[in-house]
Each structure stands twice: as C-alpha cells, then as structure tokens.
Amino acid sequence: MEQARLAKMNVAELSEAEAQAELARLAAEIAAHDRLYYAEDKPSISDADYDALRQRNAAIEARFPGLKRSDSPSERVGAVPSGRFAKVRHAVPMLSLDNAFSDDDVGEFVARIRRFLGLGTDEDVALTAEPKIDGLSASLRYENRRLVIGATRGDGAVGEDVTANLKTIGDIPKTLPDAAPDVIEVRGEVYLTHAAFAALNEEQEAQGKATYVNPRNTAAGSLRQLDAAITASRPLKFFAYAWGEMSAMPAETQMGMVEALAAWGFAVNPLMQRFKTVDEALGHYREIESQRALLGYDIDGVVYKVDDLALQNRLGFVSRHPRWAIAHKFPAEKATTVLEGIDIQVGRTGALTPVAKLKPVTVGGVVVANATLHNEDYIKGLGRDGEPIRDAGKDFRIGDTVTIERAGDVIPKVLDVDLSRRPKGAKPYDFPTICPECGSEAVREHNPKTGRLDAVRRCTGGLICPAQAAQRLKHFVARDAFDIDGLGAKQVEAFYRDGLVAHPSDIFTLAARDARLQTKLQDREGWGETSAANLFAAIDERRTIALNRFIYGLGIRHVGEGTAKLLARHFGTFEAFAEAARAAADRESDVWAELIGIDGIGDTAAEAIAQFFAEDHNRQEIDRLLAEVTPQEAEQAAADTPVAGKIVVFTGSLEQMTRDEAKAMAERLGAKVSGSVSAKTDLVVAGPGAGSKLKKAAELGVEVIDENGWFALIGG
Ligand code: IVH
C-alpha cells in the first residue's frame, strides 16, 4: 500500500525517508525488468514505461545524491547475465547526416535551403564548418547539472546505456556549472587519437594478441565494454557538437551553442568556424583537408550547419537527416594489389555474391584483404544494361593487378584492372551456376519489368539451403508472420545453430522432441522450467493462425505482408491458394491469369509464387507445416463500407491510432493502404507534420482529410 502511494508521488515532494524507500523499490523493480528483458527476452512493460522507471530513479538520485544505492540501476551498465546493455530511448532522436561528395553537392545543399526558405540568391545563409570526426556518437543527459544517463546512438531512437563507461572519459564533465540549464542533452563523438591507438596496438603485440583494425572500431569496442574498468584503461576522448533535449537555450546560433558547451566544460573542436558564404565554407573544407594528416585523430569530412537556429527550426528534417546540415566527405582512398581469388558467399535471400580475396594492402590506414565485386556482370566488365564498363569492358581474372577503393565505412570495392600486368594464361572467371552451400541450381531470374536478367544470381534451394535457412526461420517468427512469444530472431538462430530447429515445421515438434532429449530446453543457458513451458505454450497458441500470416511466413520472394493479405483475402483458404499456386506453373492456364489479375499482384510476385510451389522441397515443408498448423479461413473484405475498394494513404503523425492500427482498420473496412500517393490514390489521411505526400496529393487533386475526418467518414 505504502509502496503504491510512494510510486505515484512527485519526485519534488518526496521526503528523504520516502526517497530512500522509493529508490529501493525502483532498484528491485528495474532489476526484475532487466531479468525479464535480457535473460528471458520477455519484457512485461513497454520501453517507454521502463525508461520512465529509470528516469524516475535518476531524478530521485539527482535530488538526493547521498541516497544513491551501491546497486543503483543508474550505475549498472546493462543487465549483466546476458552480457548486454540496458536500452535508452532518446528524448529527441539522434539523427544522421546526408552526404555531399563535391563542391557542387554543397552548392545544391545551400540552393535547396534557399528554395525551402524562399530566400533570394543574393541573400547569404551563414554556415558553420567543422571536421566530421570518425568515431561514434554518444548522448549525455544531465539533470540538475549532473550526468545521469550516457547512451550510444543505437538506431537513432533507442541506444544503449553506457553511462558508467562514458563517465570514465576525461573530456566528459560529470557535473556542470550553475549557469547550465536544468535538463540538457549533449551530443558528440567519442574517438581515439592515433597515438592512443598505436600505443594500444603495441601493447597487444607485446602480449602476442591480435591488433586492432582502426581507431574508430577500437573506440566503439572500448565504449561497449561491460566492465567499465576496461573502458577506463582506454584513453577515449570526446568532442561535443550537438544537443538533444534542452530545458533552456543559451544561444540563438549553432556557434553560440557550441561556445556555451565549451563554457560548461565540454571539449569542442578548435577547427569549427562560421562563414557568411558557401565559398568561404568550401575554403575551410580545403584548409581542414590539408591539415587532416596532422590532426592526430581520424576525420572523414567536413560538416556544414546553418548557423541560425531559428532557420534550423524552420528547415526541419527529411526522413532522418536535418535539412540544415550536410557532411562533405573527403574523396575515397585507393590502392593497388593482386586479386588472389574469388569467393562466392550466399546471402540471406540466396543471392550469390562474389568477394575478391586480395593480397592484403593498406588503404587509408586500414588493411584490406576482401573487397566486393558486386555481381557476375561486374566481373565480366558489363554494366547494368549490358554495356561495357572499364574502358572496353575489361574483365577481372584471378592473378590480375587491380585498383581498390575504400571510402569511410563502406566495404572496399575493386575498381579497375591493369591489363599490362595480367599474368600469361589467365582465364576469364567462370561464375558458378550451382549454389556452393547446398548444390541447388543458382539462376538469374528474368525481370519482366525491365525485360532483362536480374544482375544477381540466386540459389533456388530456398528452405533447404543452410545459408538461407536461418534467415528463413527468422522471417517465419517475425512480428508480421508467426510472432511467437519468447521466440525472437535471436533464439531461433541459436536453435538453428544448435541443430534443434532446421525448418519452420520443426518449431512445432520442438516440445515433443524435447520430452525425449537428455539435455532439455530448460537446461540450456538462459532458459528455465518456466520459460521453457511458456515457450511451448506460446508455440501451441500459433497452431491456428491467420491465413495471411501463414502465407507471409513462408518467405516467398516478392510476397510481403501486403501481398500475403491480398492473397489470403482473394483465395480465402490455404488449400485454394496452394492449388492455384501449383497450377500457375502453366503460364497459359486460367489460374495464372487469375493470379496476375488480383489487384495489387504483379507478374513478379506471381512468378515467384509459382516458382516457390514448383520446388519439391518447398511443397514437402508446407505439408509438414500443415500437419502441425491450421491456417484459418480469411475474412472476406467488407464490401459495403464508405472506404471499400478505395486506395488510402496515411501520412504525418497520427495521434489517435498507431500506423499499424490505422492500416489494419482501413483494410478491415475493405480499403487498400498504400505507402505513396499516386493518381490512383482515392484518399489521403494526413496528421501533423505531413510533408511531401500532402503536397503530391494537392498536385494530383486527391481528397485529403485529417484523422477526425477519417473517423467521421468510417462512422467510428
Ligand atoms: S552533427 C543532427 N557534427 O556523423 C545532426 N555529426 O553521419 C547531428 N559526426 O551520427 C550530427 N562529426 O556521429 C555532427 N561535427 C559533427 C560530427 C558528426 C561526426 C557523426 C555523428 C553523426 C554522423 C552522421
């Protein structure tokens, strides 16, 4: 009772004794959630609720620093058992930058800004220019001038809590002066200097250990150590250059903000400068480029930012990039070496990818031994349209002397060949037509849209190819497919690796087989009696499943979630679909015509469906699955609703429903939901922040309504 009352109280109103009790409760509760999340992979609360608990804990600690517990969640780096970090949702997403590769690209960037803001060509847009540090970004949250959470970027929305590790970095202040606002999030780059990197590698060598590849990866590895003592032993550094949430703004310009960060004790880059014109900023790019080798740390370009924050606000973002900033990358670095062999890797979708095995060579400080050769035609010296590339279509042969290029993080490429150094008797490369993983035929599909062969050769082994099997299994358990509680990508991959599950149908025989095993699931690391029993129950729950999920789960190429729904709705039962899919092998048949006649299903998907069902091993696996699982009959689409048969696009942020909900609702009512606006679109439902789609709808004269209009229309 008492605990429940405390949990609801405002942090500012807690007495010291109450705060102590509340910190104890939070420590226990957060630890319990960590266990569920990490060890059992079964979180019982949302990320947002979890973050709220951590933030409450941090806020109480900030108010009563003396009460901080030795087992405080804010000190604990992730949940130790499974060796991972806790997740942190960024209050303001961490975005990335668009790239420019030439002066013209930068000119276009400024022209775009002028057009967007409606400025004349004679009006200057002041820009800052600073080095783009080649490290990894981090976000530091200070509440009441104390560092409470430090996180990696992660996917931009959710990062990893590496607070304890970031606290070991000397450039990062743990507390801020009184002048700093109550809540600030400082963002910047964690990096390693060349000197520190060299010293680390000397140490590694002296101990007979493998050396590190480059400063950036080493910095990233150092920051993501579960033991903060290891991070502390690596002399990481930090430059502050951006911010997230701010309870008050100390300046109105980018330059002013960075000066404030410096005044609060952050290290900022000394080469940052402000310029009135783009030409001056480009001059600074060249200046920085000329100093690059002398800086003592890696940079891979120059970042330009609009200086005026009011303009930044007006400019906003396009997808995940701010419109007001761009990274001007330095040109790629090249080297010459020998092509010693070509490996064929089989990717997740069965694509056969040629990888060049090179005589190791250093490119821009990194040793490169592998590089991409793209595809069969690229090796032959042919481009996308079959046209000769590399002069008169020079091909690559084993033993050739080749030029390779490495740009930043990108996988190195083989660019060109020196024919004068080709060894005598070198033969053109024969690209395999048999999958090296499973021995099935590997084919280049005919693309009916372009009338050409696909650039990629693919293995037809599907479910039996080991290179594809793990990926197929992950797809099978994905959220829009079977979505089995407690059996995520990670678990199913581990089961595959350990030989417990090879095909999707094996998932449904797991419990029966487990009963006969010596070492049972519950004896495996990370599992217990309850979690194993829960998993078997969750699997059983999926023995009946919506038809569209079943079809999507099969992982037929070109059959995404939307296509699976169309198929389910059209055929109603799996038997009807399978019969049609088998008969569609005959392109002259009525069934083929029926398949491509379904609104929204094109030749490519129909072709892939027919091919999938033409493979014996796929049909056998389907039979095994059907022995375990019953796909339900699909609901027929409603025909008498105001939106039946209409093509609807949702855009902008929806406030009363999630995207998934909106989509499901519209489809239930017989509408088709599309991701883009075209002349065929009947209706656009736009929430706040809608951008290009709204503009397109206006151009095309498509009806636009808001969320309330939508509910009024469907009578909800
Ligand atoms: S500004 C909203 N400034 O580059 C824009 N980023 O490719 C925030 N980076 O994720 C980024 N040096 O990790 C900015 N001086 C700099 C940078 C910089 C390095 C990194 C950062 C970002 C990535 C984008």
pLDDT digits (tens, 9 = 90+) for 549-590: 999 999 898 898 889 998 998 888 999 999 999 998 888 887
Decide if 640 is inside a domain. no
CATH number, domain with residue 13: 1.10.287.610
Average pLDDT in the 467-492 region? 90
Count other C-beta atoms under 10 Å from residue 515's C-beta. 9
Rounded to the nearest angstrom, the distance between the alpha carbon of 132 and the centre of ligand 1 is: 6
Q: Where residue 449 sits, what CATH number does that domain have?
A: 2.40.50.140
* For range 21-38, the mean pLDDT: 81
Residues 213 and 72 grouped into a single domain: no
* Centre of ligand 1 from the C-alpha of residue 139, in Å: 12
Any idea what DSSP says for residue 382? B
Choose the catalytic residue: 87, 132, 565, 693: 132
Q: The tokens 């095993």 sit on which residue?
A: 517
> Do 663 and 691 share a domain, yes or no?
yes
Query: Tokens 């729904």 label which residue?
Result: 565
Q: From ligand 1's centre to the CA of 413, what distance in Å?
A: 25
Q: Output the residue whose Cα is nearest ligand 1's atom 2.
A: 95
**Whether residues 443 and 575 fall in one domain:** no
**Cα separation values, 120 from 108, 113, 382, Å:** 14, 11, 45
Identify whether residues 27 and 121 lie together within a single domain. Answer: no
What CATH code is carried by the domain that includes residue 706?
3.40.50.10190
Q: Is the pLDDT of residue 47 over 70?
A: no
Q: Is 132 a catalytic residue?
A: yes
Q: Cα of 149 to ligand 1 centre, how many Å?
A: 20
Residue 81 lies in a domain: no
Indicate if 188 and 211 belong to the same structural domain: yes
639 part of a folded domain = no
Query: Domain range spanning residue 172?
Result: 87-329
Q: 614 vs 324, which has greater pLDDT?
A: 324
At 530, is the pLDDT very low, low, confident or very high (cuts 50, 70, 90)?
very high
Residue type for 323, please? Answer: R
With 0-12 / 13-18 / 19 or more C-beta atoms within 10 angstroms meaning exposed / middle / buried, residue 256 is middle
Q: Which of 92, 95, 133, 304 to mutate to test the pocket of ligand 1 (most atoms within 8 A of CB)?
A: 133
End of a domain among 76, 110, 133?
76
Q: Choose one of 542, 569, 598: the last residue of a domain.
A: 542
Looking at the CA of residue 134, tell me the nearest atom of ligand 1. Answer: 19
Atom of ligand 1 nearest to the CA of 269: 15
Residue identifier of the C-alpha nearest atom 6 of ligand 1: 132
3-state secondary structure 506-562: HHCCHHHHHHHCCCCHHHCCCCCHHHHHHHHHHHHHCCEECHHHHHHHCCCCCCCHH
457-468 tens-digit pLDDT: 999 877 678 888
Give the pLDDT of residue 574: 96
Residues 433 and 525 in one domain: no
pLDDT value at 680 more than 90: no
pLDDT at position 80: 34
Tell me how many domains the chain contains.
6
Residues having CB closer than 6 A to ligand 1 are: 95-97, 130, 132-133, 137, 189, 241-242, 303, 322, 325, 327
For residue 468, tell me if it sits in a domain: no
Residues 665 and 526 both lie in one domain: no
Q: Looking at the domain assignment, is residue 361 inside a domain?
A: yes
Angle at 443 between CA 502 and CA 391, to 5 degrees: 130
In ligand 1, the atom with minimum distance to the C-alpha of 132 is 12
Residues 40 and 187 in one domain: no
For the segment 209-255, what is each residue's pLDDT rounded down to a tens digit? 777 777 888 898 889 888 888 888 899 999 999 999 999 999 999 99
CATH number at residue 591: 1.10.150.20
Residue having the nearest C-alpha atom to atom 18 of ligand 1: 132
pLDDT at 435 over 70: yes
Is residue 642 domain-resident? Answer: no
Residue 207: phi and psi, rounded to 5, are -90, 5
pLDDT of residue 365: 64
Residues 46 and 140 in one domain: no
Same domain, 353 and 414: yes
Domain-located, residue 345 = yes
3-state secondary structure of 661: helix
H/E/C letters for each residue in 92-148?
A: CCCCCCCEECCHHHHHHHHHHHHHHHCCCCCCCCCEEEEEEECCEEEEEEEECCEEE
Among candidate residues 298, 329, 360, the one where a domain is terminated:
329
| Cα–Cα nearest to 327, from 99, 96, 137 | 99
- Cβ partners under 8 Å of residue 542, min gap 6: 482, 483, 484, 629
* 537 within some domain: yes
Q: Which atom of ligand 1 is nearest to the CA of 327?
A: 7
pLDDT digits (tens, 9 = 90+) for 157-208: 888 999 999 999 999 999 999 999 999 999 999 999 989 998 988 888 888 7
Asked whether the whole model's pTM tops 0.75, one would answer no
The answer for residues whose C-beta is within 8 angstroms of residue 570's C-beta and 6 or more apart is 598
Same domain, 375 and 278: no
Ligand 1 geometric centre to CA of 76 (Å): 28
For the segment 359-412, what is each residue's pLDDT rounded down to a tens digit? 988 786 677 889 999 999 999 999 888 889 998 899 999 999 999 998 765 678
Residues 185 and 307 in one domain: yes
